[in-house]
A and B are shown apart, each in its own frame.
Chain A
Amino acid sequence: MTGNAVYIYSNEQLQYKFHDDHPFNQQRLSMTNDLLTETGALNKAEMIPARKATVQELMLIHDEDYIQAVINASEGQVKSSYRTAYGIGTDDTPAFPEMHDAASWLVGGTLEAVDQVFEHGYDHALNLGGGLHHGFRGKASGFCIYNDSSIAIEYMKKKYGARVLYVDTDAHHGDGVQWAFYNDPDVCTLSFHESGRFLFPGTGHVNERGHGDGYGYSFNVPYEAFSEDESMLTLYKAALREVTEYFKPDIILTQNGADSHYYDPLTHLCGTINLYHEIPKLAHELAHEYCDGKWIAVGGGGYDIWRVVPRAWSLLWLVMSEQTGMINGFLPENWVNKWRAASPVNLPGYWHDPQGIYPEIPRRNEIEKKNERTLLNALKPIYQKNKKHVF
């Protein structure tokens, strides 16, 4: 495969589908594969298939009774008590046939990415079917059933003794992963997201810094609603560099939700496609600087599947496989023609967004100022530690 990166995908990952009107829509995977193929940046024959995670592997994080409930729900046996006990059967995560299998294939893709890096010598691996960061040990939440990233992190710890830095740039707080490792000093979580005052799930406050031995290994950088590229990227670049330098991970796992874009219907941020070009660049650079290149990337949220996700995730692969030179401004005509008819909105013709896709932001300076203050607050444990070393 291209350079030192592998692309992981299986058609089984498309089966993760609640129903036709649900915002979580895996057609985004097909559209991304297609865009990359038409661009000439991905050869379908070279994709590495995902696998289905075993129940044993799911149990690295999840409770047995919860997994059993998901299996039962897959077979049509949904009890009404599942709604509050396990979060299954709600409007966010309704039951669907084979949901256990479909969710296990998403997890297996991320585990395959881990093995490709640790056993097959690749520097980077990408599983866009992963990134289901809201899944809890014993409860489905926010469209997520099994938490592939939490499972993969525990798997890397147990199997390879790795210290993992988890970086989450989805517009929603990476709560499931944070709480799974909240007491663990060998896993550092860093989440950038729209502030919980404005957006689901409500957590991800700067003062959630970890607990017990894990204190100081959980970082949160919440953005004000209507934050823009420049402000978000300033915080992202500063925090990611500081935290990587401080934690010195063996490997970086990035969750690449593509829902901070202005077009995303579920969130209130004002990102553009530029965000999704810049975010992987720095992760890539730091993986080479600190982790001998080890970098795994997964997908995540992203609810404008027409105008945002295919471009955003294609850029992630282009950066990872060092093929950004293939971008020449225009999207491949074949791709636009193929998907135009099905799309309810005008498909973009360019890789990057033009100026002015959103109206003037009221109180822009106030938003930027608040974000700057958040950054300093979020990194406080690092500044304090550094001071201690100096004196």
Chain B
Amino acid sequence: MNVSDIMIRNIFTAEPDMAIGDALELMKKKHFRHMPVTDSSGTMIGIISDRDLKEASPSIFEGNHKDYMNRPISDVMVTNVITALPMDFAEDAANIMVENDLSCLPVENEEGDLVGIITETDLLKTFVKLTGAANPSSRLEVEVPNESGMLCDVSVLIKEHRMNVQSVLLYPSSEKPDCKILVFRLSTMDMRPLIETLKKQGYNVIWPRELGITL
């Protein structure tokens, strides 16, 4: 999954001479928290966030509050903006955001044109999509030995029960180093027939489980 798969392409930009007050109002109206600032040729020269603008603002009771609101955003915008490329992996973009404590990341192509933006919300939505919870589905969690072919074996049983897989996660067990955990989301409301088969074949089904059985 690349940045271009999850970025927002339809972006609002501001011009550097826009008044701070107007920018704040526009962002409020459009429910944006960030706006890239571009020059007349469309090249990005900075970025503003509603939080930065508000934090820099003198109190409304001070005389210079009105002056501040009339100043151009070029006075306060962040200029050395960290960006991503459309072909960057989504997880790399997420890493950049975490490391630099960013809540948004503009995307530029190799010519330097602004082509999109990624926000925290987009990443969160992507995560929900990847874990499959956006489609009606049930969660199956199975512990398997850390050997080749286990994902395939379990998948075959799922197929035999004609269940459609919405997502799969596979990760090492934190408790047993010789085991892996498989988490599926399956489009069915009733997993009982599959669970029965899995248990009969000796799989350790971690979820769903019955009350009274502690792990």
Contact = CB atoms under 8 A, between A and B. Distances in A.
B139 A270 contact: no
A91 B190 CA distance: 9
Contacts of A266: 189-190, 192
Given A143-B189, A265-B192, A202 B133 contact: yes
A199 B186 CA distance: 11
B40 to A, nearest CB: 34
Contacts of A202: 132-139, 185
Interface stretch (A28-36, A108-116, A356-364): A356-364
Nearest to B215: A362
From B163, B190, B214, name the one whose CB has the most chain A CB atoms within 10 angstroms: B190
Interface residues of B, number: 23
Interface residues of A, number: 30
A172 interface: yes
Contact of B189 (A142, A226, A358, A360): A142
Contacts, number: 68
A38 interface: no
Interface string B171-201: 0000000000000010111101000000000
A196 B133 contact: yes
A62 interface: no
A92 interface: yes
Interface in A56-89: 84
B12 interface: no
B30 to A, nearest CB: 13
A92 B190 contact: yes
A262 B212 CA distance: 13
A200 B162 contact: no
A200 B211 contact: no
Nearest to A301: B189
B161 interface: yes
Given A90-B188, A200-B137, A270 B132 contact: no
A262 B135 CA distance: 26
Nearest to A266: B190
Contacts of B207: 198
28 contacts: A84-B164, A90-B164, A91-B161, A91-B190, A92-B188, A92-B189, A134-B189, A141-B189, A143-B189, A175-B136, A197-B139, A198-B207, A198-B208, A199-B139, A201-B189, A202-B133, A202-B134, A202-B135, A202-B137, A202-B139, A203-B133, A203-B134, A262-B211, A266-B189, A268-B211, A359-B211, A360-B212, A361-B211
Please provide the 4 A-B residue pairs with the shortest distance between their CB atoms, ordered closest to farther. Answer: A201-B136, A202-B133, A359-B212, A200-B138
Interface of A: 23, 84, 90-92, 134, 141-143, 172, 175, 196-203, 226, 262, 265-266, 268, 270, 358-362
